[in-house]
Homo-oligomer: A and B are copies of this chain.
Amino acid sequence: MSAPTVYDVAEQAGVSIATVSRVYRNPESVRAGTRAKVMAAARTLGYVPSGSARGLASRTTRVLGLCFPDYADPDAEDPDGESDGAPDGSELMLYSDEIIRGMERAARRRGYALLIAASLAEGPENLVAEVAGRVDGFAVLSQTVPVEELEVIARRLPVVMLAGPREDASLDHLDHIEVANRDGELALTRHLIADHGLRRLAFVGSTPDSPDGEARFRGFQAAHREAGLPVPERPNVRAELTQAEGHRAVGELLAVGSAGERPEGIVFANDQMAVGALTALRRRGVRVPEDLAVVGFDGIPLGRLVTPALTTVRQPMRRLGEKAVELLVARLEDRKAEPVSVVLPVSVIRRRSCGCDDGSSDSVTYS
């Protein structure tokens, strides 16, 4: 005795399978009495419509997807607070969590469910295809899957790139959302220069292949240009985007120069590194922000918990997710509209680590 189908329900209710289908898809189109019979039959049989069959027949799933990289960062391996010690971010949200939340809500409002899948180290090839096959459209966090793969898939269904490259020409026809990396870093650096009077600033960047990191550095440069200061040609240090690397970067930065050359402030390409730097600086006896200002980028919750609280630029991850759904749905309605490229505004969060007062509430500026 396998799962009941429309046929079973139809027979039990004494109607045709079409009527059963109608009852589920468009109840109004069936007379109330008939409908009741069908529902009764379905109930007693324990009938549940097969999503697969529906999807196959209607070529639409009412499901949106999200693919993201496997963020199993070593920094966050505290499954459930066995050690509730120093804040390590383990119980805080990851980007993916916020995006998921944003997408889920937006999708739900429009009658879609959300299918999520992180790419495992092995078999990433499968991942996207797997997801792609079960949804009407999906969002991908950049760098999650090989470009060629995406390209093939994007020919068949709407894909929106999140925080990804507009650079990769081959993906130019995809809708795409990013945050104002350059402008955000510009605003933040400007704050350091103009409001705190800092002059010697160092930038700790990511690897050159990170579009986000590079864009942020351009903002950093722009602020210098704007202020009539010498414009740095490249990041003082490049590192991976982890706390450990932030720690390391500090070592590199403070070892190299004589005391006179020590920077007055360090601008990190992301919060994780900045947090790692905070630790490193404390160990060295360098006071933040008195001796040295430190700022990050991203706005991770952990940034508010560390001491001093981290000044940063917040990315609207939730909105990213919502926007992704918007674009997806729009594209579903008009497959051949021009590719859209959205830049989401960010906001500067002034906390203690840049030298600002750390009131009960953070100061915010938009950019």
Contacts and interface: CB of A to CB of B under 8 A. Distances in A.
A326 B21 CA distance: 34
Contacts of A262: none
A160 B96 CA distance: 25
Interface in A185-211: none
Contacts of A314: 80-81, 84
A80 B316 contact: yes
A119 to B, nearest CB: 9
Nearest to A58: B52
A118 B108 contact: yes
A38 to B, nearest CB: 14
A301 B92 contact: yes
A63 interface: yes
A100 B54 CA distance: 26
A55 B51 contact: yes
Nearest to A2: B59
A349 B84 CA distance: 8
Nearest to A68: B104
A80 B349 CA distance: 12
A48 B92 contact: no
Interface string A32-60: 00000000000100111111111110000
A133 interface: yes
A347 interface: yes
Interface string A329-350: 0000000000000000001010
Contact of A87 (B72, B153, B304): B304
B79 A319 contact: yes
Interface in A79-129: 79-87, 91-94, 97-98, 100-101, 104-105, 108-109, 113-118, 120, 129
A242 interface: no
A49 B56 CA distance: 12
Interface string A287-307: 000000000000101001100
A364 interface: yes
Contacts of A54: 52, 133
A180 to B, nearest CB: 13
A234 interface: no
A12 to B, nearest CB: 14
Contacts of A316: 80-81
A361 interface: yes
A344 to B, nearest CB: 9
A120 to B, nearest CB: 6
A256 interface: no
B91 A361 contact: no
Nearest to A155: B46
Q: Which of A109, A115, A362 counts the most chain B CB atoms within 10 A?
A: A115
Contacts of A86: 360-361
A259 interface: no
A347 B78 CA distance: 14
B361 A84 contact: yes
Interface in A132-156: 132-135, 152-153, 155-156
5 contacts: A51-B55, A62-B130, A84-B364, A85-B361, A134-B134
Given A109-B120, A134-B134, 12 more contacts: A3-B156, A48-B132, A48-B152, A48-B157, A51-B52, A52-B134, A81-B299, A84-B361, A87-B304, A92-B92, A113-B117, A113-B134
